[in-house]
Structure 1
Amino acid sequence: MHIHIFMHVPFEGPGCILDWINANAHEVTYTHWFKHTTPPTASDFDFLIVMGGPMGVHDESEYPWLTVEKAIIRQAIHDNKPVLGICLGAQLIAHVLGAQVYANEQKEIGWYPVRFSPSSPVKVLPQEMTVFHWHGDTFDLPAGAAGFAASAATPNQAFVYNKKVIALQFHFEVTQESLESMLAHGEDELVAAPYVQDKAFIHDLSGFIPENNALMHEVLTYLTK
């Protein structure tokens, strides 16, 4: 399978997703939007993964490539290809499916519990677990999508659309290395707030990484059945 990954900044990469790709001998290519590289068309790949980033879905004036990216995501969904969006990627999926994306009442940064619905398409997800978050925006559920995760700060943490598209606000994919990279580039956002943890506390809870990575692999396996 040819998997294509959209990256918006160099410090939010695929993390443990790359381990799963390599273990399953899939081909992987990238579009690094921050380098203004030439993107593929939807016909060039079998599975699209859209990573996170600090920009918002409405920031086309500052990041004009967002218009092109949205068109490719929309076409991939229309072509019934598997699509996974994480954080900004989830918000972009919600946006192209016609849902509103907007600033959340609270930023959510750090390790916070998420409750999963029994209707989750990925049956191995537990009832509740602690996952890593780094987002200030959120979305409404698109028409035809089924939400399956919520946290205290964010009612819509994840949804599935047409069985082939999954959007996750949180970061199952985070590894120790990618966590350090995100903290190094986003430390200025770690200000006192109800759902923002400090750097030391985030480090202290990094023991949750292996469980998060295992479930990231389960999501990827579901999408490639």
Structure 2
Amino acid sequence: MRCIALQHLAFEDLGLFAPVLREAGWTIDYRQAGVSPLEPAEWREADLVVVLGGPIAAYDTGLYPFLHDEIAGLRARLALRRPTLGLCLGAQLMASALGARVYPSGNKEIDWAPVALSTAGQASCLAPLANVPVLHWHGDTFELPEGAELLASTPLTPHQAFSHGRHALALQFHPEADPARIEPWLIGHACELAQAGIDIPALRAQSAAQGNAPQASAAAMLRAWLGQLE
């Protein structure tokens, strides 16, 4: 079983999800957006595609033309009901591929905080995330695509997660983020953090305070989702 993980930043990888996938027998093939893209056949045929996060916007197609190909690839893949997971930017690209609007929310949500699960979310693979802080790091959001089911919200971002059938899961937040590996995020997003007025030492301390809870909840969530694919 082969998982292709599409990266938009080198340090935004599969994180806590990687060992779960490997333990379940998946091989992981990382691709760098704009450098080593997926071929059309790979979008259609890969056993699993995970589209990871990044600081660009899903609507920045004029600045980053490769986003056209990513959205088209996702549209084709989702139409075939192939297993697809989107994280942050990946979730926004999935929403765009499904015909929903992606736009600036007017708020920067950068911190560790739990999401509120909808009734559907409580009965979904996201159940292990209940009351567990996850990393939020975004300024954009999306409308709920037609045919999607809302799974999670926060006060600042009503649309935090959706499923589209059993094969597609889009998460605006970062359950894969390892709090023990937060430093590359603080370095790589230094300009964004400064512009948003984020207290970097406080965010570092908040990350350190998470302990092992994110690891356990992320593993349980991903195992549950992979199980429903079977």
What is the CA distance between 1:215 and its match in structure 2?
A: 2.5
Which one of 182, 185, 190 corresponds to residue 187 of structure 1?
190
Alpha-carbon distance between aligned partners in 2 of 1:81 and 1:215, rounded to the nearest angstrom:
25
Give the secondary structure class of the aligned counterpart of 1:49.
Answer: strand
Post-superposition Cα deviations, 1:90-129, rounded to whole Å, max 9, x if no partner, equal 1001111111100012111111232112311216335433
Residue 56 in 1 paired to residue 57 in 2?
A: yes
Amino acid corresponding to residue 116 of structure 1 in structure 2: L
Q: Distance in 2 between matches of 1:28 and 1:123?
A: 23
Q: Secondary structure at the match of 2:114?
A: strand
- Look up the SS of the partner of 2:127 in the other structure: coil
CA contact (8 A) 1:116 1:150 kept: yes
Contact 2:4 2:28 (C-alpha < 8 Å) held by counterparts = yes
Unaligned stretches of 5+ in structure 1? none
Which of 151, 157, 162 matches 2:160?
Answer: 157
Q: Which residue matches 2:72?
A: 71
SS of the aligned residue for 2:202 comes to helix
Cα distance, 1:153 vs structure 2: 1.1
In the TM superposition, residue 212 of structure 1 has moved relative to its aligned partner by 2.2
**How far has the Cα of 1:3 moved from its partner?**
0.8
Query: For the structure 1 residues 123 and 223, does the alpha-carbon distance in structure 2 shift closer, same or farther, using more than 3 Å as the test?
Result: closer
Aligned residues: 222
CA distance in 2, matches of 1:123, 1:13: 20
Distance (whole Å) between structure 2 residues aligned to residue 141 and residue 60 of structure 1: 21
Identity of aligned pairs, percent?
33
Larger displacement relative to structure 2 (180-189 or 114-123): 114-123
User: For structure 2, which runs of at least 5 residues remain unmatched after alignment?
Assistant: none
Q: Secondary structure at the match of 1:3?
A: strand
Q: Deviations over 1:20-60 (max 9, x none)?
A: 122222111122114x1242322441111010000111112
| TM-score under structure 1 length normalisation | 0.90
**Distance (whole Å) between structure 1 residues aligned to residue 19 and residue 118 of structure 2:** 27
Q: CA 1:143/1:189 → structure 2, altered by over 3 Å: closer, same or farther?
A: same
- The question of whether the paired residues in 2 share the 8 Å contact of 1:82 and 1:223 is answered with no
1:110 touches 1:197 (CA, 8 Å); kept in 2?
Answer: no
Match status 1:95 vs 2:81: no
Over 6 Å off, 4+ runs: none
Query: Equivalent residue of 2:163, what SS?
Result: strand
Q: Greater shift after overlay, 119-128 or 173-182?
A: 119-128
TM-score by length of 2: 0.88
- Tell me which residue corresponds to 1:224: 226
Tell me, yes or no, if the aligned pair for 1:8 and 1:52 is still in contact at 8 Å.
yes
Equivalent residue, structure 1, for 2:38: 39
Match of 1:23 in 2: 23
Residue deviations 1:164-211 (CA, integer Å, cap 9, x gap) = 111111111111454211110112222486xx6421111212232632
Aligned to 1:137: 140
Q: What's the CA shift for 1:63? A: 1.2
The reply to whether residue 203 of structure 1 matches residue 204 of structure 2 is yes
Q: Distance in 2 between matches of 1:79 and 1:98?
A: 16
